[in-house]
Amino acid sequence: MTSDQTKKPWGGRFTAPTDEFVEQFTQSVSFDKRLAHYDIAGSIAHAKMLAKTKIISKKECDEILTCLKQIEEEVASDQFKWSASLEDVHMNIESALVERIGETGKKLHTARSRNDQVATDMRLYLRDEVDDTTLKINAVMAALLKLAEKHHDSIMPGMTHMQAAQPVTFGHHLLAWAEMLLRDRSRLQDCRQRINVLPLGSAALAGTTFPIDRNYVAKLLGFDEVAQNSLDAVSDRDFIVEFLASASLVMMHLSRFSEEIVLWMSEGNRFIDLDDAWCTGSSIMPQKKNPDIPELIRGKTGRVYGDLIALLTLMKAQPLAYNRDNQEDKESLFDAVDTLKMCLTAFAGLIPSITVNNKSMLDAAERGYTTATDLADYLVLQGVPFRDAHAVVGKAVQYASKKSKTLSALSLSELQQFSELIKDDVFAVLKLEGSVLARNHVGGTSPTQVKIQIARVKKKI
Ligand code: ARG
């Protein structure tokens, strides 16, 4: 079975019908119908411009708008009949228009090509998705702030090389993730500026002979600028690559955070627990409660990286101007948008499901000799050069470890074996609380700083 060639909007110069396989192979409507709302918005603006410049009459424009709005409603309520033989979202909608209002419908495509049309649709779509993603990032940050507020002074072992390093406040650790998300948000906003440029008016590749008003279309569709080169405008997909790069970074951050959640919940740490509603079990081991949500987010990160690589590869070595290759930009972008948004939604729900086991965190910080640097700093204040102080404390740690004791559990005389400069005021320094309180400067881990940073980030969301 093959479809009737005369029914295709581009069928004029063809005599033989399209091979059925070719029809299936070339169609994009099965996935680009998701752009219908934006395609119709673009067509409405285009029709209004055609009327304003008297390329079509006001009456014709009104007829087109009424019909497009009707089609929009049918699409929204899933009543619209999509047809693969009409290839893509653009030709499905245009054909419906022609079918319903005849000759007038055929005038909509004046001074326009599917090449500038699809580029416009993609930009309108992505602009909305960037705004939605921004809101979702804000929701994750709000959840982080709430937990950080509660734990502004809870102490945990800060890690380097996955070894206990120095005590930090849990609030400070959570705020590190908020900083990453702030950068992610700003990258998306930056990318939005380059998304928000109007390709329509470029037509197939060279512009059009009609007296169009591109600034008017830009204004109607909320674009900040009009693309300045028609060849570039129809072929440019940089804005998608940029979005996917930004999305990959968000996913990278979520994946790192997921990894920490998994580690914190693991048997060896038990720093946190997740609500039952946010975990799943094992079909064989009855005791299991697994952190599958962060694991899935970690896993889905690879998909989004893959989408980025797909687009970079799609555009590599592509000559000007439009090539059909570009139809392949859609599924990767849609997949990345859906995955990213779902993972952000998951995180906004996952964070409030965290309960903190303060004691496990504190014990781990204590076991890890995390105040050793504080002891070295104490000796420096007594006039010992830092390198010597470092060596002295190294010996003290070696001794304490042999005795299976923490540093603060050593007696004064035990400590004095390593330096006579150690006096009984040393114990304040060896305490975890003292250690975090002392780091009271911009960027430091003290509870006071955590509160200041919470207020700062709060103002930004
Ligand atoms: N479905 C096409 C795409 O997604 C629309 C543009 C088609 N243009 C063309 N000259 N065949 O890119």
> Average pLDDT of 433-444?
96
Residue 150 near residue 352 (C-beta atoms within 8 A): no
Q: Is residue 270 part of a domain?
A: yes
Please tell me if the CB atom of residue 28 comes closer than 6 angstroms to any atom of ligand 1.
yes
> Average pLDDT of 147-172?
97
How wide is the angle at C-alpha 346 spanned by C-alphas 343 and 348, nearest 5°?
110
CA distance 67 to 79: 15
Please tell me if the CB atom of residue 114 comes closer than 6 angstroms to any atom of ligand 1.
yes
Please tell me if the CB atom of residue 324 comes closer than 6 angstroms to any atom of ligand 1.
yes
Q: What is the pLDDT of residues 296-312, one digit of tens each?
A: 999 999 999 999 999 99
**Residues 426 and 449 placed together within one structural domain of the fold:** yes
Q: What is the pLDDT of residues 172-213, one digit of tens each?
A: 999 999 999 999 999 999 999 999 999 999 999 999 999 999
**Residues 9 and 148 placed together within one structural domain of the fold:** no
DSSP class of residue 82? -
Question: What is the distance in A from the centroid of ligand 1 to the CA of 324?
Answer: 6
**Residues 123 and 237 placed together within one structural domain of the fold:** yes
Please tell me if the CB atom of residue 104 comes closer than 6 angstroms to any atom of ligand 1.
no
Q: Is residue 91 part of a domain?
A: yes
How wide is the angle at C-alpha 38 spanned by C-alphas 32 and 41, nearest 5°?
145
Which residues, 6+ apart, have CB-to-CB distance to 178 below 8 Å? 141, 144, 145, 148, 453, 457
Question: What is the distance in A from the centroid of ligand 1 to the CA of 421?
Answer: 78
Please tell me if the CB atom of residue 115 comes closer than 6 angstroms to any atom of ligand 1.
yes
The reply to whether omega before 336 is within 30° of 0 (cis) is no
Q: What is the pLDDT of residues 378-416, one digit of tens each?
A: 999 999 999 999 999 999 999 999 999 999 999 999 999
**Residues 123 and 258 placed together within one structural domain of the fold:** yes
CA distance 269 to 160: 16
Q: How many residues in the chain?
A: 461
Nearest to 279 by CA among 266, 244, 268, 269: 266
Domain containing residue 382: CATH number = 1.10.40.30
Q: What is the pLDDT of residues 281-292, one digit of tens each?
A: 989 889 989 999
- Give the percent of the chain with pLDDT over 70: 99
CA distance 158 to 174: 12
Domain containing residue 11: CATH number = 1.10.275.10
Q: Where are the alpha helices (DSSP H) in 86-157?
A: 89-101, 103-106, 114-150
DSSP class of residue 19? P
Q: Which of 353, 375, 392 is the last residue of a domain?
A: 353
Whether 1 shows a pLDDT value over 80: the answer reads no
**Residues 180 and 229 placed together within one structural domain of the fold:** yes
* Residue 151 among the catalytic residues: no
Question: What is the distance in A from the centroid of ligand 1 to the CA of 165?
Answer: 56
HEC-encoded secondary structure of 148-189: HHHCCCCEEEEEECCEEEEEEEHHHHHHHHHHHHHHHHHHHH
Burial of residue 97 (CB within 10 Å: 0-12, 13-18, 19+) is buried
Rg (CA), the chain: 31
**Residues 279 and 305 placed together within one structural domain of the fold:** yes
**Residues 349 and 389 placed together within one structural domain of the fold:** no
**Residues 123 and 233 placed together within one structural domain of the fold:** yes
**Residues 315 and 260 placed together within one structural domain of the fold:** yes
**Residues 345 and 292 placed together within one structural domain of the fold:** yes
pLDDT band at 458 (very low <50, low <70, confident <90, very high): very high
**Residues 322 and 390 placed together within one structural domain of the fold:** no
> Average pLDDT of 422-449?
95
CA distance 145 to 173: 11
Q: Which of 293, 321, 353 is the last residue of a domain?
A: 353
Average pLDDT of the chain is: 96
Q: What is the pLDDT of residues 244-293, one digit of tens each?
A: 999 999 999 999 999 999 999 999 999 999 999 999 998 988 998 999 99
Residue 279 near residue 292 (C-beta atoms within 8 A): yes
Helix (H) or strand (E) holding 85: none
Q: Which of 161, 404, 411, 413 is the catalytic position?
A: 161
Q: Is residue 39 part of a domain?
A: yes
Structure tokens of 80? Answer: 């619209």
Q: Is residue 249 part of a domain?
A: yes
pLDDT band at 5 (very low <50, low <70, confident <90, very high): low
Residue nearest to atom 12 of ligand 1 (CA): 327
pLDDT band at 168 (very low <50, low <70, confident <90, very high): very high
Domain containing residue 306: CATH number = 1.20.200.10
Please tell me if the CB atom of residue 88 comes closer than 6 angstroms to any atom of ligand 1.
yes
Residue 335 near residue 307 (C-beta atoms within 8 A): yes
3-class DSSP state for residue 437? Answer: helix
What's the number of domains the chain is made of?
Answer: 3
Residues forming a β-bridge with 225: 197
Question: What is the distance in A from the centroid of ligand 1 to the CA of 123?
Answer: 15
Query: HSE-up of 364 (CA within 13 Å, CB side)?
Result: 24
Pseudo-torsion of CA 178, 180, 182, 186, nearest 10°?
A: -170
Structural domain range at position 23 = 5-110
Q: What is the pLDDT of residues 15-55, one digit of tens each?
A: 989 999 999 999 999 999 999 999 999 999 999 999 999 99
Q: Which of 57, 282, 401, 441 is the catalytic position?
A: 282
CA distance 263 to 313: 35
Q: Is residue 159 part of a domain?
A: no
* Residue 37 among the catalytic residues: no
**Residues 289 and 422 placed together within one structural domain of the fold:** no
Helix (H) or strand (E) holding 261: helix 238-265
pLDDT at 9: 87
Structure tokens of 151? Answer: 């734990």
User: For a substitution probing ligand 1, which of 39, 113, 327, 330 has the most ligand atoms within 8 Å of its CB?
Assistant: 327
pTM of the model: 0.95
Residue 280 near residue 290 (C-beta atoms within 8 A): yes
Q: How far is Cα of residue 348 from the mean position of the Cα atoms in its chain?
A: 13
CA distance 85 to 18: 9
Q: Is residue 10 part of a domain?
A: yes
Please tell me if the CB atom of residue 255 comes closer than 6 angstroms to any atom of ligand 1.
no
Q: Is residue 335 part of a domain?
A: yes
Q: Is residue 93 part of a domain?
A: yes
User: For a substitution probing ligand 1, which of 113, 118, 330, 334 has the most ligand atoms within 8 Å of its CB?
Assistant: 118
Within 10 angstroms of residue 96's Cβ, the number of other Cβ atoms is 22
User: For a substitution probing ligand 1, which of 88, 89, 125, 205 has the most ligand atoms within 8 Å of its CB?
Assistant: 88
Q: Which of 308, 331, 353 is the last residue of a domain?
A: 353
